[in-house]
């Protein structure tokens, strides 16, 4: 069975904190990491560069103004799909040419793409959209599901798509759009996909479900309120039940082995958190725990919880974006004021940086192309 997991939640407001063991690194992993790919940048692609390592590819105007809650984006190998207040637009990653745009009759709460299509969540309705034309192949309004939120998630397997929002996670057949299950009624719980199943958070902990809603296992930990994307066969969770900085004393990260359905490791966190801004490669998860204040950005070994590298006194506005051989951390505000940064995922070595990138509302990317956007989209190549 093929394993595919695609999740997008960009431009969301998040509150989180993160793991302990500060300064601990995974030296053996670092030694095996390939060299910095800065020298591979193709200088003849464009004469316009923002800074060392970033090449500006194109710029495109979009149609809306709004705030960060209105912006949700995803990409595949050929296009960036950018959601704004009232439109969803597909732009070519190569040159920014508009492929199509469609009006949104309701606010976009989530968007994700995979090899089979594009999927959107708007309030109670999930749509499968043809990536070539922007036309809807099907749309289904969920039963027993009342609203989406800006903390919504969409995840896909080979045959099913699941959306998580205000009233839990719902599952649909990809081909027909028929609803197959409502996994739980836990509000704002993220949903992740792995090996044909969906993993989400319930009252008692983290549970893996078949697409028909049959529970396969539960790791009981009532403190978990968010999950990273899956890294290899591990998903990392954490959180607390306090809100807006109210410390409830729960400060942990939990690594869950999806093969066995068991807790693989737990580490102490340095602050209370609820919803983290996260991303992942096959073996590393990236977690930022801020609430409009400077905090620490962490790269964790997904298998062990060890801190691979960290950035202190950092503020970022939306989740990082994983590209080929780099994680791009957008809009970094810190003492160094480096703006946009690209770093090697395992070691944290800086590949590129720019302090000339405007503050926008969201980001996405694929391959070596990164797209930062708000009322307009700006693409860079690493």
- What sign does the dihedral 143-145-149-155 (CA atoms) show? negative
Task: Calculate the average pLDDT of the chain.
Answer: 79
Rg of the chain over CA atoms, in angstroms?
Answer: 19
pLDDT score of 288: 86
Determine the Cα angle at 279 with ends 202 and 87, to 5°: 90
- What sign does the dihedral 75-76-80-81 (CA atoms) show? negative
- Is residue 135 within 8 Å of residue 148, measured between CB atoms? no
DSSP-derived secondary structure for 366-380: ETTEEEEESSEEEEE
- Is residue 174 within 8 Å of residue 168, measured between CB atoms? no
Residue 53 predicted with pLDDT over 50:
yes
Asked which of 14-23, 282-291, 310-319 is least confident by mean pLDDT, the reply is: 14-23
Q: What is the mean pLDDT of residues 45-51?
A: 42
Asked which of 44-53, 282-291, 309-318 is least confident by mean pLDDT, the reply is: 44-53
Q: Which residues contact 23 (CB under 8 A, 6 or more apart)?
A: 307
Q: Which residue has the higher pLDDT, 66 or 86?
A: 86
| CATH classification for the domain delimited by 27-36+69-326, as one of 2.40.40.20, 3.40.225.10, 3.30.10.20, 2.130.10.10 | 2.130.10.10
Residue 273 in tokens: 């958190």
pTM beyond 0.85: the answer is no
Locate the domains of the chain by residue range.
27-36+69-326
Q: For 203-234, write each residue's pLDDT tens digit.
A: 788 999 999 999 999 999 777 888 999 999 99
Give the model's confidence band at 322: pLDDT under 50 very low, under 70 low, under 90 confident, else very high.
very high
Q: For 129-146, write each residue's pLDDT tens digit.
A: 999 999 999 999 887 655
First to last CA, the chain: 33
DSSP 231: B
Dihedral, CA of residue 323, residue 333, residue 349 and residue 239, to nearest 10: -70
Q: What is the mean pLDDT of residues 100-109?
A: 90
Distance CA 275, CA 184 (A): 18
Distance CA 16, CA 262 (A): 24
177 by Cβ neighbours in 10 Å (0-12 / 13-18 / 19+) ranks as middle
β-pairing, 49-51 vs 284-288, is unpaired
SS3 44: helix
DSSP-derived secondary structure for 234-301: EEEEE--S--TT---S--EEEEEETTTTEEEEEEEBSS--SS-EEEE-SSEEEEE--SSS-EEEEEEE
- Is residue 105 within 8 Å of residue 142, measured between CB atoms? no
- Is residue 138 within 8 Å of residue 181, measured between CB atoms? no
Asked which of 66-75, 105-114, 126-135, 154-163 is least confident by mean pLDDT, the reply is: 66-75
């Amino acid at each position: 069975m093929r394993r595919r997991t695609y999740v997008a939640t960009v431009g969301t407001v998040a509150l989180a904190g993160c793991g302990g063991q500060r300064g601990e690194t995974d030296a053996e992993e670092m030694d095996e990491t390939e060299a910095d790919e800065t020298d591979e940048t193709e200088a003849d692609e464009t004469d316009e560069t923002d800074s060392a390592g970033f090449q500006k590819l194109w710029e495109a105007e979009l149609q809306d103004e709004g705030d960060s809650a209105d912006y949700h984006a995803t990409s595949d190998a050929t296009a960036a799909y950018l959601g704004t207040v009232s439109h969803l637009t597909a732009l070519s990653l190569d040159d920014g040419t508009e492929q199509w745009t469609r009006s949104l009759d309701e606010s976009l709460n989530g968007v994700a793409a995979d090899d089979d299509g594009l999927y959107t969540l708007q309030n109670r309705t999930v749509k499968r959209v043809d990536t070539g034309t922007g036309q809807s192949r099907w749309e289904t309004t969920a039963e027993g599901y009342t609203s989406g939120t800006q903390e919504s998630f969409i995840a896909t397997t080979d045959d099913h798509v699941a959306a998580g929002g205000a009233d839990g996670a719902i599952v649909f057949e990809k081909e027909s759009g028929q609803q197959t299950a409502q996994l739980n009624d836990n509000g704002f719980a993220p949903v992740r996909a792995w090996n044909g199943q969906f993993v989400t958070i319930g009252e008692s902990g983290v549970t893996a479900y078949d697409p028909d809603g049959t529970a396969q296992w539960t790791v009981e930990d009532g403190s978990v309120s968010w999950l990273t994307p899956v890294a290899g066969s591990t998903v990392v969770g954490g959180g607390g039940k306090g809100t807006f900085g109210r410390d409830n004393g729960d400060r942990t990260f939990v690594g869950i082995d999806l093969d066995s359905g068991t807790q693989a490791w737990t580490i102490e966190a340095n602050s209370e958190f609820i919803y983290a801004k996260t991303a992942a490669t096959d073996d590393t998860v990236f977690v930022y725990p801020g609430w409009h204040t400077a905090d620490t950005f962490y790269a964790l070994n997904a298998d062990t919880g060890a801190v691979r590298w960290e950035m202190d006194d950092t503020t970022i506005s939306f989740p990082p974006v994983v590209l080929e051989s780099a994680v791009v951390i957008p809009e970094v505000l810190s003492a160094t004021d480096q703006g946009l940064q690209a770093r090697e995922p395992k070691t944290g070595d800086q590949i590129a940086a720019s302090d000339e990138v405007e503050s926008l509302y969201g980001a996405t990317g694929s391959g070596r192309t990164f797209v930062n956007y708000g009322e307009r989209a700006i693409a860079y190549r690493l």
